Amino acid sequence: MTSTQATANHEDTQFDTHEGVVHLLRGGTGQPVLYLHGIGAPPGYWNAVHEGLSRSFDVIAPDHPGFGFTDVMDDLDRIDDVVYHYLDLLDRLGLQQDVHLVGVSFGGWLAAELAVHSPDRFASLVLAAPVGIRIPGHLPTDFFLMTAKQQGQALFHDPAKIPQVDPADAVTAFQTYKNLTGVARFGWVPFLSDPKLERRLYRVKARTLVIEAEHDAVVPREITERYAASITNAQRKTLSGTGHALDAEVPEAFSKAVTEFLSSGEEASKQ
Amino acid sequence: MKFVFFHLMPYPYLPDDFDEKYTSMSLTYPNRHFDPEKGYELYHRYLDQLEWAEELGFDGIAVNEHHQTSYGIMPSPNIMAATLARRTSRAQIMVLGNAIPIRDNPIRVAEEIAMLDHLTSGRLACGFVRGIGWEYFAQSINPTRSAERFFEAHDLILKSWTETEPFEWVTRNYEYRYVNIWPRPLQKPYPPIYMAGSGTPDTMRWAAKHHHVYMSVIAPTQSIKGWFNGYRKAAREEFGWEAGPDRFGWVTPTYVGETDKKAVEEARGPIEWYFHKSLKQPPGAGNPPGYVPLGSMKAALEKGTRRIPTDSMPIEDLIKGGYILVGSAETVAERIMELGEDLGFGTLGVNLAVGSIAESQAKENIEAFAKEVMPKVRKEMNDAPPETSL
């Protein structure tokens, strides 16, 4: 079963798969961008980054299994399960090649795994404050061992940007718990990483941009450095004035940086 | 009423600046604050108390499992039960319990419990618990699998005790090509099973299905009443049996003084240490993601049920809320009979060496409970005392 609601600028779709119901947002025209979320900007909602990217691209933004409004898919408990889940989604949407892949934080890890698995499928790869590489002594901050208040402080550089949540809002409280549970399901141990990923990154063929948040209190700089060093010709860029949740804290600057990188690649391939 | 002397074995010596410097005594509270000389003294003091409790006529003596904390220094409850096995001869030795989801190898738990059953001459009771939030950090076990691993490890352990041919057990959590444990337990078919619960409907239903004894954790009387009723209802309506008082246990910090007033004043320090300091989890660790299944969390959020915080509740309110038993022997005995009747439990676990209590004070408390409270309750309820008690 598929149900779709259209608004002015995007479609909001839920469809059945053999694994459960998937929730997907899609908007804009142009080359397809598969946008893989983190939990800084809450998954499941069309946000300013989607909006920015949709001015130039066909933005496809699903909620990961067990996040947002996508079902928990009980058999999916390792990152490679999610890789196959997204290969299925790309097949379903008929996107075999030239897909731009953009991932934030947890979604960055997932994007890197996809680009390692199917290097010929993706034209570009943007890893924004990604986790996924395991470096002893440089694990990401233990986001699970924090109060909600501490999590807000860890995600945002500017305290004024931390979303204020009404404690009586049961829907938001449940979504937050569900999203954290989603991250824990795939990332409790090994901690937000796949110990095999780093040595496999040589397989990536896509043009790659690694974006760092200037004041990232979650992902150590060593991890983004290793990504940039391990992927052939990867570029690096630092977004200033933001904490780890760059999609929520500086959405305009973030979508502008991504748009510029993806567009410059399209220009280059036309010449 | 079955009386159980319940021990947590806290390490009570906190530095003077503890409250300013630390949010919790678990997980990340540095172990340089464990003084091995004092720890050594504590282990032997606490084991002496457990052995003495048998002499004083308790029906059971109970130990349990906690990790990386001064809340309780028993990472291995089975080792504690083993030390008690051959130095006691009558009381039930109760491991309440092994935290099976946070163990990598449930077969090892099955083997150790089976061994203990022989060492105790069949006096063993076997509890299974989930483990507390911070322990999922301490043992690197994914909390999103906690409930699933609990139920599965339980099934595997019980099967390993009852199958008499080698069998295979292959799931996503465990893979055993050969399960064939030696020794098999002495009790038939295996030691009585206890489990601790905090009211999750699934867990109560499941306990009722298996006829396991359901032990409450620290909670207000009204909540516990609801949980026990849930078990009884599930037993009656879904599984077709009547759960009597022997299926329910209530565990609580307990203090007996000369008068009610004196009891409150004497217990204030140790009890408030227990509630205000030792029960505090590190920030965020109390409920790691997935530890409460999503469905239960959703229901709880929609109902707006919130646990009342006890971390700054004065002893008077803890008494009123029914969290603890404190008073003269008369008061405590009456309260036990009243609650036993109201909640319908037949096992009472009393934490008498509670919190930061001094050695001499603990001794008086244990003795007062055994010599003044237990006989009163037994007499009123027409319970025969254990044969070898004083």
Q: Identify residue B98 by its one-letter amino acid code.
A: N
- The answer to whether B239 touches B205, Cβ cutoff 8 Å, is no
Burial of B385: CB neighbours in 10 Å, binned 0-12, 13-18, 19+: middle
Domain that holds residue A265: 2-270
**pLDDT higher than threshold 80 for residue A71:** yes
Smallest Cβ distance to B289: which of A77, A174, A177? Answer: A177
Nearest CA-CA partner of B223 in B306, B128, B313, B346: B306
Query: Distance (Å, rounded) from C-alpha A102 to C-alpha A205?
Result: 15
- Residue among B141, B172, B284 minimizing CB distance to A144: B284
**Predicted pLDDT of residue B386:** 78
Q: Which amino acid is at A87?
A: L
Q: How far is B147 from chain A (nearest CA, A)?
A: 13
- At residue B68, the pLDDT reads 97
Query: To 10 degrees, the CA torsion angle through B80, B82, B83, B89?
Result: 120
pLDDT band at A267 (very low <50, low <70, confident <90, very high): confident
CA B147/CA B382 separation, integer angstroms: 40
Give the per-residue pLDDT at B253: 97
What pLDDT is attached to residue A271?
Answer: 60
List phi, psi (to 5°) of B92: -70, 135
* Residues from chain A contacting residue B142 (CB–CB below 8 Å): 184-185, 188-189
CA gap B178, B170 in Å, rounded: 10
**Cα(A193)–Cα(A139) distance, rounded to whole angstroms?**
9
- How much is the mean pLDDT over chain A? 96
Q: What is the pLDDT of residue A1?
A: 63
- Best residue in B68, B301, B311 to probe A by mutation, most A CBs within 10 Å? B301
Q: Do B294 and A168 touch (CB under 8 A)?
A: no
| Averaged pLDDT for residues A233-238 | 98
Which CATH code, of 1.20.120.850, 3.30.1360.10, 3.20.20.30, 3.30.420.40, is assigned to B2-380?
3.20.20.30
Q: Which residue has the tokens 């050969």?
A: B178
Q: What is the DSSP letter of A26?
A: E
**At residue A112, what is the residue type?**
A
Interface-testing mutation among A69, A134, A144, A179, with chain B (most B C-beta atoms within 10 A): A144
CA distance A115 to B152: 36
Interface of chain A toward chain B, CB-CB under 8 angstroms: 72, 77, 142, 144-147, 150-151, 168, 170, 173-174, 177-178, 180-181, 183-185, 188-189
- Single-letter code of the amino acid located at A51: E
Cα A186 to its chain centre, rounded Å, is 14
The domain that holds A56 is classified in CATH as 3.40.50.1820
Average pLDDT over every residue of A25-44: 97
Which two tokens mark B321? 């809320």
Three-state SS across B264-320?
HHHHHHHHHHHHHHHCCCCCCCCCCCCCCCHHHHHHHHHHCCCCCCCCCCCHHHHHH
AA letter at B254: T
Tens of pLDDT along chain B (390 residues) come to: 999 999 999 999 999 999 999 999 999 999 999 999 999 999 999 999 999 999 999 999 999 999 999 999 999 999 999 999 999 999 999 999 999 999 999 999 999 999 999 999 999 999 999 999 999 999 999 999 999 999 999 999 999 999 999 999 999 999 999 999 999 999 999 999 999 877 777 888 999 999 999 999 888 998 999 999 999 999 999 999 999 999 999 999 999 999 999 999 999 999 999 999 999 999 889 899 999 999 989 988 998 877 788 999 999 999 999 999 999 999 999 999 999 999 999 999 999 999 999 999 999 999 999 999 999 999 999 888 776 544
B chain contacts of residue A184, beta-carbon cutoff 8 Å? 142-144, 288-290
Please give the model's pTM, rounded to 2 decimal places. Answer: 0.95
Per-residue pLDDT band at A87 (split at 50, 70, 90): very high
**Count of domains for chain A:** 1
Residue at token pair 């309110």:
B317
A177: nearest CB among B145, B297, B302:
B297
